[in-house]
Amino acid sequence: MPKVTIDGIEIEVPKGTTILQAARMIGPEVAPPTMCYYSKLKTSGGYCRTCIVKVSKGSAQNPNPMPKPVASCRTEVMDGMEVQNITSPEVLEARKGVVEFLLINHPLDCPICDQAGECDLQNLGYEHGAVKTRYEFKRREFEVIDIGKYIKLHMTRCILCYRCVKTCEQITDKRVHGVIHRGDVSEISTYIENAIENDFSGNVIDVCPVGALTDRTFRFKSRVWFTKPVDAHCGCNKCSGKVRLWLKGEEVLRVTARKDQWGEVEEFICNSCRFEKKKKSDWVIEGPSPISHQSVISQNHYNHLNEVKIQVLKQQKALGFAETKGDSVTRK
């Protein structure tokens, strides 16, 4: 089994493992971010270039470094390979460049985007992006299109990761969905704007890293961080029936597939589970979903928020703030 060293940490991995998978085996600290790679979809990856790393030693036989940074999601490890990710300033600089490229034509309409809070691009921008944009031109715009009665396409937000194209290619049987045009005007489209009518088409919403494909049954109902995720299942004859429910009080606002640590769905679910079973009684609830404590969604898990608020108010009173009216505080 080949041994590979990533950021100074050695790991032995099966043959055929990519650098990215090896890095994920080590842990999230050294795993490069991904926007287009999706381990559940074959031939995905290589497009967004956020996962580029520097190979400082090719292999034990050929110790020369690779001349250019490589896409870690599509490069297989060799025995004795040495990879630099977060330890290489060049890689971090290049990644910053890629984030900038991804953002120059992104509308940054997070305040009105349903994806905000669980958006890969937000996370990436937060971690690797610049504070200010250097782009001063008009951003690319597209019309918003309904594709089918359940899915809405905001092409303006799309970063062309091809994940939805691969999903339609690989898990639905009739593909009517692809990329048209070329270069920076290329867009995701259905064949002459045909609706995607397929039992598994809803999965394109889950794989979309940004808010380009959104759930029409959930649009503008709530910010994701005001909903509580719980894992649930049902006896479905089309899919595994293992889902994540997003609750607000007793109401099921949204049903999605369960996502793992890397933001990838564990099992694809069918459209009737996703869009039609919107009552709590349709489901057997297993318990709260694991959410990273770094995620904005996790804030709803803390019941002691009220206590924190009371303490803050007490301190404010001690410091000479005026009586509070509702949530707002005014100074004397």
Nearer of residues 183 and 326 to other proteins, judged by Cβ: 183
74 — alpha (psi -120 to 50), left (phi > 0) or beta? alpha
Count CB neighbours of 194 within 10 A: 13
d(CA 160, CA 56): 30
Nearer of residues 183 and 249 to other proteins, judged by Cβ: 183
Min separation Cβ 98 and other proteins, Å: 6
Asked if 100 is part of the footprint of other proteins (rule: CB under 8 A), the reply reads yes
Of 97, 107, 117, 290, the one binding other proteins by CB under 8 A: 97
Min separation Cβ 42 and other proteins, Å: 13
- Using an 8 Å Cβ cutoff, are 3 and 10 in contact? yes
d(CA 51, CA 64): 21
Range 252-311, binding other proteins (CB under 8 A): none
Asked if 247 is part of the footprint of other proteins (rule: CB under 8 A), the reply reads no
Give the interface segment with other proteins, choosing from 81-89, 95-103, 249-257, 295-303 (CB under 8 A). 95-103
Q: Total binding residues for other proteins by CB under 8 A?
A: 32
Asked if 46 is part of the footprint of other proteins (rule: CB under 8 A), the reply reads yes
Nearer of residues 50 and 289 to other proteins, judged by Cβ: 50
Of 16, 111, 183, 320, the one binding other proteins by CB under 8 A: 183
> Residue 4 carries which DSSP code?
E
Asked if 71 is part of the footprint of other proteins (rule: CB under 8 A), the reply reads yes
- C-alpha torsion sign, points 242, 244, 248, 249: positive
Element (H, E) at 310: helix 305-318
What is residue 81's three-state secondary structure? Answer: strand
Of 124, 207, 108, 138, residue with least CA distance to 167: 207
**β-bridge mates for residue 179, sequence order:** 188
Asked if 185 is part of the footprint of other proteins (rule: CB under 8 A), the reply reads yes
First to last CA, the chain: 70
Asked if 131 is part of the footprint of other proteins (rule: CB under 8 A), the reply reads no
Give the interface segment with other proteins, choosing from 3-11, 43-51, 147-155, 283-291 (CB under 8 A). 43-51
Asked if 182 is part of the footprint of other proteins (rule: CB under 8 A), the reply reads yes
Asked if 197 is part of the footprint of other proteins (rule: CB under 8 A), the reply reads no
Give backbone dihedrals phi and psi of 323, rounded to 5 degrees, phi first: -55, 140
Chain residues that interact with other proteins, rule: CB under 8 A: 46-49, 52, 67-69, 71, 74, 94, 97-98, 100-102, 104-105, 134-135, 137, 159-160, 162, 178-179, 181-186
